Amino acid sequence: MQTTTLSFDNFHQHGALFTNMLRARHRTFIDEKGWDIPSEEGMEFDQYDTAQSRWVCVHDKGRVLAGVRLTPTTASCGIYSYMVRDAQRGLLDTIPANLLDEDAPIADHIWDANRLFVAEGIDTEIRRDVQMSLMGHMVRSARSLGATTLLGLLPIGIPRLGRRLGIDMEPGGPVMKICGVAHRCYFVSMASKMH
């Protein structure tokens, strides 16, 4: 099992890993969860999959096991910025605008973490290792990008995984159902954990 952080600068070094990750997102979010989100040729993607983002991917022999997208809160592409902020601004029909208790931040040290998934069909004996690998690498990648805080609209079970790694997640808004699954915005402060 390997974990890789992908960017537009290093796609060429990882063969089909990026497209395999988009296909895994399609299977997870569209095929299994039934979300009505953009896709083409069996790949799920949206307006936040730009050169400004990074993708943390857990994989084994070409098979994508898990992933998450990191986007700076300073991102801008046309009318869009990052998912949590754009939802708050009313630009996204499927996410309620009241997802945060405060205005969505815009700062170099805060990155948005979204589209987090663990693929279905992962053997029970390695599922926890996959989850831990994804969370740990997400934090290390974000730190390497200069982030001290992550903000994400995530399933409410994710903080339990974070605690196992010593990562504290503070609620940033109300619990809300998105496509039938309870989600909440969380702030992950990494400053105290940095060495």
Q: Report all structural domains of the chain as residue ranges with CATH numbers, in order of start.
A: 2-193 (3.40.630.30)
The pLDDT of residue 160: 81
Q: Which residue has tokens 């700076």?
A: 72
pLDDT at 8: 96
Model pLDDT, residue 93: 87
Token readout for 154 is: 């995530």
pLDDT of residue 194: 40
Strand-pair category, 176-178 with 169-171: unpaired
| Residue 34 one-letter amino acid | G
Other CB atoms closer than 10 Å to residue 195's CB: what's the count? 3
Please state the length of the chain: 195
Position 191 scores a pLDDT of 61
Q: What is the pLDDT of residue 195?
A: 39
Mean pLDDT by 10 residues, the chain (195 residues): 96 95 95 89 95 97 95 96 96 92 97 93 89 91 95 88 81 90 90 48
Which residues, listed in sequence order, are joined to residue 6 by a DSSP beta bridge? 55
- Would the pTM of this model clear 0.85, i.e. be above it? yes
